[in-house]
């Protein structure tokens, strides 16, 4: 018989310490081996009980979840899933926890205090199982420090992008995106449109954190936002994002259509839209994440003549999203996280969009040919 996944629940709320184990009882592959009311007790129980996964509240007395997470990453290397409050403060602490190495997070329902956790039961159980299978982080992402931004001189002339770069990412995405964006120069000639699986209320703060730490402009997308060079638009939680070519400038469009692949936002929705609107002028990157969202959309961009990149599985926190595209033959290149930025800069160069940096050619796996591309006329 396969050994059950051993889970330690750390939460200062007695109700949550009761409800989370009850919620997980329905999954026969998971066993809650203990609970703790703060970080100090939690660290002691990790040593005593040797859990495979820890679920962690962040706001606790004596030792809070952030400090406990720091101790876990230094000493124990156990994957941690944050169980976060769906508030502005909860979102801020959750993003900090992800930056410190938390595997993933789930948000408590608004009525959690009334004993209703059923709506996150399957999500929490799935993330526990994926975390246990993935184990300790494969790599620690260190984001280089960046200089404070100098405000750009105001210009009445928009900087039209040479290429549109569509990015899809899920588990492990916040750190991976921060690393990628930190490697792009302020004058990056492409425009990035990004779907990161993240709940409503988290994406605006996430975009702001990226904007403050990276050379390029990053903002949460709004319908009608222009696709401009040196800009990254992050799709808001609980919306889908599409793109549209317009006479006076190409724009992002937000829509409230049903979930696709269980997600809203969905990477496939964005990728299919980019394939339809931009064809062989499109670039797409499918990065770390669980599930298959984005694989078929990456194939659509490849079929339209666009250039497609999958993050190499060995540099992903969870590799199932890019791997599902790689196994279907939808990735023109498989590239490590560290190598993606140089490929994007090379492909987006207006003077020579088909060139590739020599250093990268030997470090990526060519799976199929690339489509032709031309500079977008303004």
Report d(CA 254, CA 223) in Å as an integer.
5
Report d(CA 238, CA 211) in Å as an integer.
21
Report d(CA 346, CA 343) in Å as an integer.
5
Q: Fill in the DSSP letter of residue 305.
A: T
13 catalytic residue (yes or no): no
Angle at 235 between CA 135 and CA 198, to 5 degrees: 30
Torsion of CA 263, 318, 107, 49, to 10 degrees: 150
Structural tokens at position 107: 């948000």
E strand or H helix at 69, and its extent?
helix 65-75
- The residue ranges of DSSP E strands in the chain, in sequence order, are 5-10, 30-36, 53-56, 80-84, 104-107, 164-169, 191-196, 217-220, 231-234, 240-244, 251-255, 282-286, 307-311, 333-335, 365-366
Torsion of CA 347, 351, 355, 356, to 10 degrees: -60
Report d(CA 340, CA 311) in Å as an integer.
8
Characterise 135 by phi-psi region: left (phi > 0), alpha (psi -120 to 50), beta (else): left
116 catalytic residue (yes or no): no
Report d(CA 181, CA 169) in Å as an integer.
13
Structural tokens at position 13: 């709320």
314 catalytic residue (yes or no): no
Structural tokens at position 36: 């703790």
Q: By the 8 A CB rule, do 341 and 309 touch?
A: no
Please give the backbone phi and psi of residue 58, each rounded to the nearest 5 degrees, phi first: -105, -30
Q: Which candidate, 369, 176, 197, places its Cα nearest to that of 268? A: 197
Start-to-end CA span in the chain (Å): 63
Catalytic residue among 84, 134, 162, 170: 170
Catalytic residue among 104, 250, 293, 319: 293
Report d(CA 237, CA 222) in Å as an integer.
12
Catalytic residue among 197, 211, 240, 263: 197
Give the active site residues: 170, 197, 293
């Amino acid at each position: 018989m396969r050994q059950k996944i051993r889970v330690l629940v750390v939460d200062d709320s007695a109700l949550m310490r009761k409800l989370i184990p009850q919620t997980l009882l329905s999954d026969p592959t998971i066993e809650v081996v203990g609970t703790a009311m703060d970080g100090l007790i939690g660290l002691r129980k990790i040593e005593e009980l040797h859990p495979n996964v820890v679920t962690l509240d962040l706001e606790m007395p004596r030792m809070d979840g952030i400090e406990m997470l720091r101790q876990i990453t230094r000493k124990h290397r156990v994957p941690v899933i944050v169980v976060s409050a769906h508030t502005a403060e909860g979102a801020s602490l959750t993003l900090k926890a992800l930056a410190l190495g938390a595997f993933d997070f789930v948000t408590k329902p608004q009525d959690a205090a009334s004993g209703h956790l059923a709506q996150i039961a399957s999500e929490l159980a799935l993330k526990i199982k994926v975390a246990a299978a993935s184990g300790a982080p494969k790599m620690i992402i260190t984001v280089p420090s960046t200089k404070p931004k100098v405000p750009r001189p105001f210009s009445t002339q928009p900087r039209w992008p040479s290429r549109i770069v569509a990015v899809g990412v899920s588990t492990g995405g916040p750190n991976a995106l921060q690393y990628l964006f930190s490697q792009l120069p302020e004058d990056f000639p492409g425009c990035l449109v990004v779907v990161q699986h993240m709940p409503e209320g988290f994406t605006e703060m996430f975009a702001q954190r990226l904007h403050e730490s990276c050379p390029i402009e990053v903002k949460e997308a709004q319908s009608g936002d222009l696709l401009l060079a040196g800009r990254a638009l992050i799709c808001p939680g609980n919306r889908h994002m599409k793109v549209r070519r317009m006479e006076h400038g190409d724009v992002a469009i937000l829509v409230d259509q049903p979930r696709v692949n269980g997600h809203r936002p969905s990477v496939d929705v964005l990728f299919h839209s980019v394939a339809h609107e931009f064809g062989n002028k499109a670039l797409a990157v499918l990065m770390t994440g669980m599930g298959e969202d984005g694989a078929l959309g990456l194939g659509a961009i490849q079929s339209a003549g666009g250039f497609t990149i999958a993050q190499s599985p060995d540099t992903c926190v969870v590799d199932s999203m890019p791997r599902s595209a790689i196994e279907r033959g939808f990735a023109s290149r498989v590239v490590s996280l560290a190598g993606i930025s140089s490929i994007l800069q090379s492909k987006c160069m207006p003077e020579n969009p088909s060139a590739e940096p020599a250093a990268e050619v030997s470090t990526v796996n060519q799976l199929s040919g690339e489509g032709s591309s031309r500079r977008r006329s303004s």
